[in-house]
Structures are given as structure tokens and as C-alpha cells.
């Protein structure tokens, strides 16, 4: 650091110089000062969070030469050593059924997390019913998510210009496309070149062949003029950068013991650590961003979960990637003389406009699939085919009762039998006992199909998170209180999902076994249930109407950046992880460029 406070740049391989500096004074809550352990050095960058956004930032910046300290609230996780990919359900309690601690099943990769985390509550405002999934582990949700990797399209970046609802992003698809390329080429995504409207193709590995039930669904969709194409998942079908191709055990949700699917530690963090530029601290529950007298970020304060002591870590640049709502929580709790309402919150928009994906599901029984000889339906841990949104022209002509669209995810076939397999079979068989029951269950095994819509929510002023004034977690950190509301657009979208899925099943000669009507709000998911929450620190081109500029840099604090889903302006029907990776890559390269130009000063 130079005498005038600039971030120093060394000509050569390193982007940032990482000398050890003594801690400078900061403006923070006096009640915490006596507890804070003084830092021994100042890093070039402090990154909070190790998921998709934190991982890509660490990867790009560490390879660029920056000395980084990454803070993760959970424990260490290495899928190649800790995965239970090959364990049998019959060797687990209750045949590996889900529980409060493990909602997605006993073998789900999440070490600690779920809708409820012991000692870490959140609250809902009256009339709201938000669910908040946390994954307390290195790599966060990238260890167990579905690996669906869809690019947002040109329409998705300019939705307000198209239908007058929500907001436009401050850049176009073409601006982010090169970073989608980089993300896909690094993490490995399979798919096919289709040339469909607002469904951009990418840098794909070969897609696996469709399974039998998927071929039947595609034939039904062809009759209905619904596109059904190979899915796009971040799972390797060819070796890449020392990672082997998927061996088709279909247990991706347990994490991959050979590192064949995308996870932040295996693809981003461990390679970044090999540079010698990345230090990772686990068990670090971040309380707030520290602010200097000059109004810039000086680092963060966190609670060491083992010692329960406050620790300060200092950095010239702070990157928040703790997950959308956790990032908002940290910012709202980062109060100082300069930022009495939370850091970088002069607009009052931190926490506002949170969104989740619209979800609704239907299941059915296809007689054509029953009583078939055993067949190999191995594949990746997810769908081999999916249906992208296909009614853009009708919406643009105002022929649809709702704005925005959804894609369709499908499931079925002869998956690994476990708790819940063939549940509800009594509705078809009328019950039974002994050998005859087993024979009949084998007859219908693999003949159920499932459809799940994943649609776009339009941001609204009734959906936001704020600090609960009376509740703290076990670490003494004030928790979030959620306000959430679906609009008619989302409810009518769910209705359309229900009707469409029924039509696909019936066209295939099947019968619907589960669905939802108007009395159940068309089966629309609870807010947060799909685990695609985005928003809370929207980007924009005006500091009065946004928290961040187009490069995810805080308007109020030039050395504070965000690389998770909090900067999202909208929540397209494309699952957010790939866009988090691309946007985080773009932001990280911008950080490098700004340091070189001395535009980021500390």
C-alpha cells in the first residue's frame, strides 16, 4: 500500500502486491472491539463464501496473483474423499429416507444445512412463508445441486423493455456471453446446438442418449409442438483438465467421488490453492464488513465457531459471495457512522426484490412402460432431456395470461430403489401382500413419470429481507426476517404448468396420479423452496435505484464487490448457477483491470 492509500501493483506475474501490513483503525461497533483478535496481515482480497460465486472469484484472482483469504462458515469438504456415492440405501437408517436434518435424503452431500440450521434461525413477517436453505460446508450448494446449466438469453437481460414489468439489466447477453463461454469450458457442460429462441447454445460436451421414458415423453411433446431437447448439465461426458468423465451411477446429489460433476472445491478452490495464493478458513461465521474512516471496506469480522471469538481479517478488497440472502444479511448488519443503515445501502435497496423460481409439479403413470424386461437406464444424476420455454411469440403478442415463461424438468425410469420408490402404488394395484405384491410392484417399476416446472418470478416490492429487530443466532448475530409474495403472473404460470404437464401425460397414453388445482394455488411452491433465491443487491446504472454498478461493484464502497446471486436484476427460468459463474468471472476480471488502472484505492 502506498503512502497515499492506493492499492499497489507490481509489474510482473502478480496483479496485486501482498506485503504484510499492520491493521489500520476502523469505524465499527465499539461493543465488539475488545473481543476482536487483531489480524497479522492484510490480504489483497478477502472472499466471504466458497460456493459458485466465491469459488470463481478465488479461481480468477488467485491465478492472477492476488493473495486471498477465503472465509467459509461451514466445515471442510472434499468430494473425492468424503462422498458416499457408492453406499447402498439398505445400509442406511430408514433406507436412506430424508429427515429434518437431511431433507434430500440420508446421503445428500450437504454436511450441515437445510431449511433449518440448528442455532441459526430466520423469521417470517406476518403473512409470509419463506423457506431459506443454507449449506454450511466448503463449496456450499454446488456439492448437491442439480447441475442444470442454462444460459440466460437476450430477452432475459431486457425483460422490462419487452413487457414493461420488473427491471432491465444494465448490460446485454452479448456482454456476458464470453464469460458463459469461459465458465462452460472450465466446469464442463453437456448439451446440443439447437438454435432455439432465447435459449442460447453454449460450449458443450456431447450429451448422453435419452432414456426409454424420455423418448416417450419426447414423442408426446412432438405431437404438442413442445420442444424436447437434450438437457444441459454441468457433468462431464468427456475427461477435462484431469477430471474423468461421468461413469453414470446417477448419484450426483451425494457429490461425486471422482470429481466428474461441477463443484466449487474440485473445480475452483483446490486448483486456486495450488497457486499458493489462496488461504481457506472454515468455521468462520461472518458478522460484518469492517469500514475505515475513509468509508472503504477494510476487511470483515467473523466468529471462529470453534473458539466463539471474534476475529478480524483485513483485505484491500472485499468480495461477498455468501449466497444471496446471507450477503444481504452481512451488509445490513455492517452498520457504522458512514453507513447507519448497513454498508453500501444509501439507496435503501439492500435486501429488496428477492426472488425465487416458480415451481409446480405433476406426476403420472404410463402403461406403455409397465411389465418391461429389465434394462439399463443408468445415466447422469439428472434428466437427459428437458423442455425449454416455447411460447415467446405468443407472449409478445399478448396472447398469454401471464408474463415470462418456464422450462420443464422431467424424471422417471428405473432409478436406484430407496425409501419412497413406488410410493402410492396402492392407487394402481389396490394393495396386496407377499409374492403377488412383489410381482405387481416389479410390473409397474419404472412406469411413473414426473414433471416439474421452473419458471421466472417478476420482482415485486412485497418481497424482501430485513434484519429482525429482536432475534439473534447462537453467535449473537441479528437474523433475517423475510417478506414474500407471489403475484398473479406467477400463479397463472403455475396453472399453465399443471395443464401442460397433464396434457403431455395424457397424450402419451398415461394417467395423472398427482396434481394440484386452484384450491391449492395450482401447486405453486413456497418462496425459497426451489433454492434459487436471487436479488437483494440489484445491479444497475444509477446509484439511486441500484446497490451495485454493472460490474457488481458497490456504488458507495469502491472496494466492495458481490459475486453470488444477490446482484441479479431478474430471475429468468434458467437456473442461476451458470449465470453466477459467468457474472462472477466478469466481475473478477474487472477487479483485476481496475487494480491495474489504480481505480480501486484503499
Q: For residue 404, which of 571, 525, 598 has the smallest C-alpha distance?
A: 571
How far apart are the C-alpha atoms of 99 and 312, rounded to whole Å? 36
Copy the grid coordinates of residue 105: 435424503
HSE (CB half, 13 Å, CA atoms) of 518? Answer: 2
How far apart are the C-alpha atoms of 432 and 323, rounded to whole Å? 48
CATH of the domain at 144: 3.50.50.60
In contact, 53 and 321? CB cutoff 8 Å: yes
What pLDDT, on a 0 to 100 scale, did the predictor assign at position 597? 81
What pLDDT, on a 0 to 100 scale, did the predictor assign at position 559? 97
Contacts of 82 (CB under 8 A, 6+ apart): 255
- Convert the pLDDT of each residue in 187-229 to its tens digit: 999 999 999 999 999 999 999 999 999 999 999 999 999 999 9
- Average pLDDT score over residue span 413-436: 88
What pLDDT, on a 0 to 100 scale, did the predictor assign at position 40? 67
Across the chain, mean pLDDT equals 92
> With 50 as the cut, is the pLDDT of residue 19 above it?
no
**Torsion of Cα atoms, 294 then 299 then 305 then 307, to 10°:** -80
Q: Say if 490 falls within a structural domain.
A: yes
CA angle 439, 441, 442 (to 5 degrees): 65
Q: What's the start-to-end Cα distance of the chain, in Å?
A: 8
What pLDDT, on a 0 to 100 scale, did the predictor assign at position 35? 52
Question: Environment class of residue 268 by beta-carbon count within 10 Å: exposed (0-12), middle (13-18) or buried (19+)?
Answer: buried
Total count of domains within the chain = 1
How far apart are the C-alpha atoms of 463 and 536, rounded to whole Å? 10
Q: Say if 4 falls within a structural domain.
A: no
Backbone angles phi, psi at 548, to 5 degrees: -125, 155
- Convert the pLDDT of each residue in 291-343 to its tens digit: 999 999 999 999 999 999 999 999 999 999 999 999 999 999 999 999 999 99
CA distances for 32 relative to 37, 48, 469, angstroms? 10, 20, 18
Residue 582: band (very low, low, confident or very high) from pLDDT cuts 50, 70, 90: very high
Q: Cα 593 to chain center, whole Å?
A: 27
CA distances for 328 relative to 324, 331, 342, 344, 430, angstroms? 7, 5, 9, 11, 51
What pLDDT, on a 0 to 100 scale, did the predictor assign at position 373? 86
Cell 419426447 sits on residue: 218
What pLDDT, on a 0 to 100 scale, did the predictor assign at position 34? 38
Q: Say if 6 falls within a structural domain.
A: no
Helices H, strands E: what count in the chain?
Answer: 15, 20
Residue 512: band (very low, low, confident or very high) from pLDDT cuts 50, 70, 90: very high
- Convert the pLDDT of each residue in 130-163 to its tens digit: 999 999 999 999 999 999 999 999 999 999 999 9
What pLDDT, on a 0 to 100 scale, did the predictor assign at position 453? 98
- Strand-pair category, 406-412 with 385-387: antiparallel
Q: Say if 449 falls within a structural domain.
A: yes
Backbone angles phi, psi at 37, to 5 degrees: -80, 125
What pLDDT, on a 0 to 100 scale, did the predictor assign at position 423? 86
Q: For residue 452, which of 397, 382, 545, 555 has the smallest C-alpha distance?
A: 382
Tell me the three state secondary structure of residue 196.
strand
Tell me the three state secondary structure of residue 216.
helix
How far apart are the C-alpha atoms of 310 and 560, rounded to whole Å? 21
- Convert the pLDDT of each residue in 345-367 to its tens digit: 999 999 999 999 999 999 999 99
- Convert the pLDDT of each residue in 434-473 to its tens digit: 999 999 999 999 999 999 999 999 999 999 999 999 999 9
Specify the pTM. Answer: 0.93
> With 70 as the cut, is the pLDDT of residue 176 above it?
yes
DSSP string, 405-417: -EEEEEEESSPPP
Percent of the chain with pLDDT over 70: 93
Q: Say if 25 falls within a structural domain.
A: no
Backbone angles phi, psi at 481, to 5 degrees: -120, 130
Residue 528: give the domain boundaries: 30-78+98-596
DSSP code of 267? I
Q: For residue 138, which of 313, 38, 227, 267 has the smallest C-alpha distance?
A: 267
How far apart are the C-alpha atoms of 54 and 201, rounded to whole Å? 25
What pLDDT, on a 0 to 100 scale, did the predictor assign at position 377? 86
Q: Say if 602 falls within a structural domain.
A: no
Q: Say if 20 falls within a structural domain.
A: no
Residue 39: band (very low, low, confident or very high) from pLDDT cuts 50, 70, 90: low
What pLDDT, on a 0 to 100 scale, did the predictor assign at position 600? 74
> With 60 as the cut, is the pLDDT of residue 543 above it?
yes
How far apart are the C-alpha atoms of 138 and 260, rounded to whole Å? 17
CA distances for 525 relative to 144, 151, 355, 449, 528, angstroms? 20, 23, 12, 19, 8
CA distances for 553 relative to 241, 320, 330, 550, 583, angstroms? 31, 10, 16, 7, 12
- Convert the pLDDT of each residue in 82-138 to its tens digit: 999 999 999 999 999 999 889 999 999 998 999 999 999 999 999 999 999 999 999
Exposed e or buried b per residue across 146-176, where buried means at least 16 C-beta atoms within 10 angstroms of its C-beta:
bbbbbbbbebbbbbeebbeebbbbbbebeeb
- Average pLDDT score over residue span 253-280: 97
Q: Say if 86 falls within a structural domain.
A: no
CA distances for 180 relative to 141, 308, 526, angstroms? 20, 40, 30
What pLDDT, on a 0 to 100 scale, did the predictor assign at position 32? 41
Amino acid at each position: 500500500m502506498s503512502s497515499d492509500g492506493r492499492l499497489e501493483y507490481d509489474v510482473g506475474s502478480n496483479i496485486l502486491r501482498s506485503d504484510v501490513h499492520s491493521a489500520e483503525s476502523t469505524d465499527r461497533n465499539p461493543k465488539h472491539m475488545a473481543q476482536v483478535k487483531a489480524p497479522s496481515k492484510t490480504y489483497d482480497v478477502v472472499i466471504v463464501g466458497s460456493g459458485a460465486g466465491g469459488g470463481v472469484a478465488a479461481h480468477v484472482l488467485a491465478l492472477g496473483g492476488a493473495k486471498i483469504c477465503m472465509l467459509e462458515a461451514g466445515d471442510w469438504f472434499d468430494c473425492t474423499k468424503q462422498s458416499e456415492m457408492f453406499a447402498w440405501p439398505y445400509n442406511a437408517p430408514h433406507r436412506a429416507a430424508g429427515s429434518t436434518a437431511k431433507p434430500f435424503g440420508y446421503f445428500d452431500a450437504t454436511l450441515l444445512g437445510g431449511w433449518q440450521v440448528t442455532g441459526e434461525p430466520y423469521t417470517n413477517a406476518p403473512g409470509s412463508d419463506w423457506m431459506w436453505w443454507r449449506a454450511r460446508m466448503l463449496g456450499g450448494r454446488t456439492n448437491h445441486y442439480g447441475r442444470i446449466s442454462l444460459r440466460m438469453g437476450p430477452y432475459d437481460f431486457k425483460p422490462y423493455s419487452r413487457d414493461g414489468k420488473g427491471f432491465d439489466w444494465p448490460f446485454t447477453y452479448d456482454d456476458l456471453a464470453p464469460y458463459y463461454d469461459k465458465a462452460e469450458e472450465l466446469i464442463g457442460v453437456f448439451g446440443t446446438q439447437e438454435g432455439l429462441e432465447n435459449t442460447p447454445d453454449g460450449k458443450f460436451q456431447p450429451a448422453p442418449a435419452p432414456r426409454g421414458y424420455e423418448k416417450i415423453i419426447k414423442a408426446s411433446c412432438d405431437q404438442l409442438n413442445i420442444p424436447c431437447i437434450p438437457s444441459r448439465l454441468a457433468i462431464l461426458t468427456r475427461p477435462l483438465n484431469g477430471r474423468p468423465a461421468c461413469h453414470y451411477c446417477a448419484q450426483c446429489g451425494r457429490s461425486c467421488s471422482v470429481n466428474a460433476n461441477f463443484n466449487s472445491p474440485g473445480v475452483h478452490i483446490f486448483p486456486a490453492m495450488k497457486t499458493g495464493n489462496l488461504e481457506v478458513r472454515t468455521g468462520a461465521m461472518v458478522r460484518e464488513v469492517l469500514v475505515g474512516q475513509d468509508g472503504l471496506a477494510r476487511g470483515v469480522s467473523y466468529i471462529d465457531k470453534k473458539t466463539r471469538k471474534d476475529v478480524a481479517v483485513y483485505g484491500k478488497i472485499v468480495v461477498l459471495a455468501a449466497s444471496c440472502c446471507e450477503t444481504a444479511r452481512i451488509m445490513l448488519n455492517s452498520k457504522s457512522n458512514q453507513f447507519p443503515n448497513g454498508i453500501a445501502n444509501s439507496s435503501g435497496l439492500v435486501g429488496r426484490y428477492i426472488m425465487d423460481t416458480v415451481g409446480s409439479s405433476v406426476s403420472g403413470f404410463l402403461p406403455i412402460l409397465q411389465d418391461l424386461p429389465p434394462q439399463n437406464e443408468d445415466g447422469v444424476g439428472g434428466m437427459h432431456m428437458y423442455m425449454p420455454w416455447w411460447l415467446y411469440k405468443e407472449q409478445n403478442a399478448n396472447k398469454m395470461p401471464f408474463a415470462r415463461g418456464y422450462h420443464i424438468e422431467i424424471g422417471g425410469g428405473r432409478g436406484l430403489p430407496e425409501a419412497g420408490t413406488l410410493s402410492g402404488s396402492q392407487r394402481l394395484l389396490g394393495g396386496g401382500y407377499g409374492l403377488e405384491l412383489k410381482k405387481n410392484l416389479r410390473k409397474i417399476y419404472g412406469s411413473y413419470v414426473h414433471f416439474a416446472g421452473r419458471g421466472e418470478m417478476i420482482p415485486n416490492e412485497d418481497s424482501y429481507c430485513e434484519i429482525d429487530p429482536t432475534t439473534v443466532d447462537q453467535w449473537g448475530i441479528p437474523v433475517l426476517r423475510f417478506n414474500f409474495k407471489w403475484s398473479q403472473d406467477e400463479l397463472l404460470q403455475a396453472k399453465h404448468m399443471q395443464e401442460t404437464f397433464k396434457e403431455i401425460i395424457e397424450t402419451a397414453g398415461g394417467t395423472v396420479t398427482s396434481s394440484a388445482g386452484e384450491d391449492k394455488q395450482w401447486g405453486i411452491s413456497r418462496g425459497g423452496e426451489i433454492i434459487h433465491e436471487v436479488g437483494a443487491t440489484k445491479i444497475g446504472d444509477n446509484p439511486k435505484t441500484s446497490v451495485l454498478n454493472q460490474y457488481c461493484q458497490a456504488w458507495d464502497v469502491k472496494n466492495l464487490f458481490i459475486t453470488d446471486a444477490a446482484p441479479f436484476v431478474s430471475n429468468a427460468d434458467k437456473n442461476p448457477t451458470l449465470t453466477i459463474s459467468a457474472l462472477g468471472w466478469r466481475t473478477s476480471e474487472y477487479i483485476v483491470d481496475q487494480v491495474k488502472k489504480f481505480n480501486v484505492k484503499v
